[in-house]
């Protein structure tokens, strides 16, 4: 009785296996994977090569992302800002840029001057918000619920903090008006 023929999706041949091993070496340079692949069936070797390629691609992407984050953090932490309106606006603009929040120096400045005259401790104790128990505060006269909703991670949780106040208000203006630059009156 003749022996039945087994049908493999990949024909087992020394040439195919050698090509798979060469591919593994070219992609990853891992001699242990190449050595292991020579003792496996061709389809297992292909799977090993694919897995090695995917793992190395993921490792490269992860390393690149970590390096990018580290570079961004390093750049941000080494930059210094003056402790005045100019410095607060510039620091906010850098944070906004990193978070995809549009706005310009002039747009922020004109709104700050209209809302608080540049006083980071300004508080409005007479308008409807104040009458409802949530007065507008800080450089851009933000109420606490709005600040909490539009707070940008990495800034202070203190509504009176100038950078946190500007950044949260600009984030709010972005979501409601498209940009702080589009705000020309109380908001």
Which pLDDT score is estimated for 43?
Answer: 53
Q: Which string of b and e fits 38-68 if b means at least 16 CB within 10 Å?
A: eeeebeebbebbeebeeeeeeeeeeeeeeee
Is there a contact between 72 and 98 (Cβ–Cβ < 8 Å)? yes
Greater confidence (159 vs 77) lies with: 159
pLDDT mean across residues, the chain: 75
77 band by pLDDT with thresholds 50, 70 and 90 = low
| 76, pLDDT greater than 80 | no
Which tens digit of pLDDT belongs to each residue from 132-158? Answer: 999 999 999 999 999 999 999 999 999
């Amino acid at each position: 009785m003749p022996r039945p023929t087994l049908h493999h999706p990949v024909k087992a041949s020394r040439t195919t296996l050698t090509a798979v091993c060469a591919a593994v070496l070219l992609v990853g340079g891992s001699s242990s994977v190449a050595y292991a692949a020579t003792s496996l069936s061709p389809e297992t070797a292909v799977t090993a090569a694919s897995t090695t390629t995917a793992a190395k691609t993921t490792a490269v992407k992860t390393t690149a992302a970590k390096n990018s984050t580290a570079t961004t953090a390093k750049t941000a932490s080494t930059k210094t800002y003056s402790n005045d309106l100019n410095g607060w606006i510039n620091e906010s603009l850098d944070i906004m840029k990193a978070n995809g929040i549009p706005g310009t120096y002039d747009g922020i400045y004109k709104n700050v001057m209209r809302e608080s005259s540049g006083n980071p401790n300004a508080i409005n104790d007479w308008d409807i918000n104040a009458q409802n128990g949530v007065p507008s505060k800080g450089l851009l006269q933000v109420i606490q619920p709005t600040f909490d909703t539009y707070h940008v991670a990495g800034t202070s949780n203190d509504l009176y903090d100038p950078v946190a106040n500007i950044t949260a208000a600009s984030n709010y203006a972005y979501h409601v008006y498209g940009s702080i630059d589009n705000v020309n009156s109380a908001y």
